[in-house]
Structure 1
């Protein structure tokens, strides 16, 4: 209920504000509403591994929200899984003095100083999907990573009858991935004592490393029944290895892409937990825009003296879906774009 309330509050605030403006001047055009960007007001989304399909629906709805407010939107980031290169693209975006940046920080601590500097320079920063909690970012929009990990564990354990061997692939140091893996293991330990963790391997979101890791894990543990990973790139290699090992290993990931969906539909992957990406982007923009315009609210608190942004919402949960062979058809990016009649990150 808390999640729904926060989401509804953010949306209703915008609608209510526009209604108030209309009530004050029934003949005022939308362009005079306070819920409208100034000409050239630009909001940026910044990520690492920028070619990963996960980001595209996030940006699709981020861009839609921006355009509904009369704002400009831009998609930036680095194609590498490298925090220093991502910080460099963040700096490049910041140099253009955007109104705000919706940021997925690869690692939390290296981004503290850049985020703080952006905030002090007047560029609002909201994080999504992964956080930098010790920074001055205003808000954080995400699916509940701990809940995703626990639900993934429940799906796997129930299918295995609550007994068997499992392994995990991970990317240590990436906050949201660490949370998912930790929660997956905790759920097994707390509620499925007959599920045995027999191996862990770091893949760095590399399908080839995931492929080799699963082959090694399967060879060392002939009774291996499942392997979990916190992202989709590793899932592609893991599923191929599981297929070659005999097809009895349930491969469960968080996030999807076209290849993962194909494998789920073909029965080569057990399933996936997928954050509601479009919602993440849309709410992300709303939080970012509100953070840039704190003058629209005068709360009864000490924000002026304490120096915090009164528009901040510490955490907003964008929700998730469980993707199975039965519903995978609904999650393809190309079909989503065709339905919407848009060009994705290119348009």
Structure 2
């Protein structure tokens, strides 16, 4: 027993010494950028208002580490064009790229090739899970869908008709839709899905789709939309039809924010975009500098990048008439550099 106690005491002393000892100087020295070291944020539909706070968070974190940033992507909803923009980014030899992939599988090979060439890649808001990307930052899309379903039921009761719009192929939007449908089916079988149409973030397509759903289902009670662009068209169709439909959507644009203020949209569930960009930069930066991390695993033998984070949840906010002013993009950008 005495030997055991001595051994335990010795272990405690050793552990305390290990915890309080200084970190290697090499780790401290790597947490800053070299002159000209650049990180890129690449997106699709680059003019969308959603990216603005994300890039501001990305840029804020980069400036703290003395790094340069570039905002990149394509103005189109076109996977081929986004991949081409990603390839053009690689020509600039960035240290890392924070990527919102429009579709997951087409980006597997470009992401893997970039990483093989020494460029770190982290995905955000949408994922390419079969690629070698080192981290994925997003809000919890299943939690968003559950919240939306419960809110619809709390407002309408457990029996009614609802419809969804969707954007097949974009992972976060797919999950927001399928998770809500599955949750309704499992918990509220009295809620009947009467319409499901693809609108692909096109407000005109959403207007036509919603008008068609309303024509076939004039007693439609609720509409769930996985993003704000389609919500713009959907609310226009509902207003034109003078229909009483509870509309909820994910994300936010200045247009849908005004509709929330006016009471035309019930609420929006919006990922914390600044957190998404800030943590996105940190994950991309650390993946580019694996020498700064000693994670107590087999990375030295396996050769794997030790900076592997399967999922970072940046959380989401609920936007209603009461707090809508807090999500005014013009107010947010006052005093900030938009570039």
Task: Give the TM-score normalised by the residue count of structure 2.
Answer: 0.91
Q: Which runs of 5+ in 2 are unaligned?
A: 1-20
Q: Are 1:229 and 2:229 counterparts?
A: no
**Matching residue within 185, 202, 208 for 1:212:** 208
1:87 to 60, 68, 83: 83
User: Alignment RMSD, CA only?
Assistant: 1.6
CA distance in 2: counterparts of 1:245 and 1:225, whole angstroms: 13
How far did 1:20 drift? 5.7
- Do residues 277 (structure 1) and 273 (structure 2) align? yes
> Is 1:342 matched with 2:329?
no
Aligned mates of 2:197, 2:65 — CA distance in 1? 45
What is the aligned counterpart of 1:132 among 113, 128, 134? 128
Aligned with residue 305 of structure 2, among 304, 309, 314: 309
4+ residue stretches of structure 1 with deviation over 4 A?
A: none
Contact 1:103 1:126 in 2 (8 A): yes
Partners of 2:136 and 2:309 within 8 A in 1: yes
Report if aligned partners of 1:45, 1:74 keep a CA contact under 8 Å in 2: yes
Deviation at 1:309, TM superposition (A): 1.1
1:264 is matched with which residue? Answer: 260
Deviations 1:97-156 (A, max 9, x none): 100000000001000000001001100000001110111101111111111111111111
TM-score (norm 1): 0.89
2:236 is matched with which residue? 240
Q: Distance in 2 between matches of 1:69 and 1:20?
A: 21
Query: Secondary structure of the equivalent of 1:172?
Result: coil
**Equivalent residues of 1:154, 1:187 under 8 A apart:** no
Q: 2:314 aligned with 1:324, yes or no?
A: no
Structure 1 residue aligned with 2:293: 297
Question: Which blocks of at least 5 consecutive residues in structure 1 are unaligned?
Answer: 1-18, 25-31
Matches of 1:201 and 1:34 in 2, distance apart? Answer: 49
Q: Aligned equivalents of 1:319 and 1:159: distance in 2?
A: 24
Q: Which residue of 2 aligns with 1:60?
A: 56
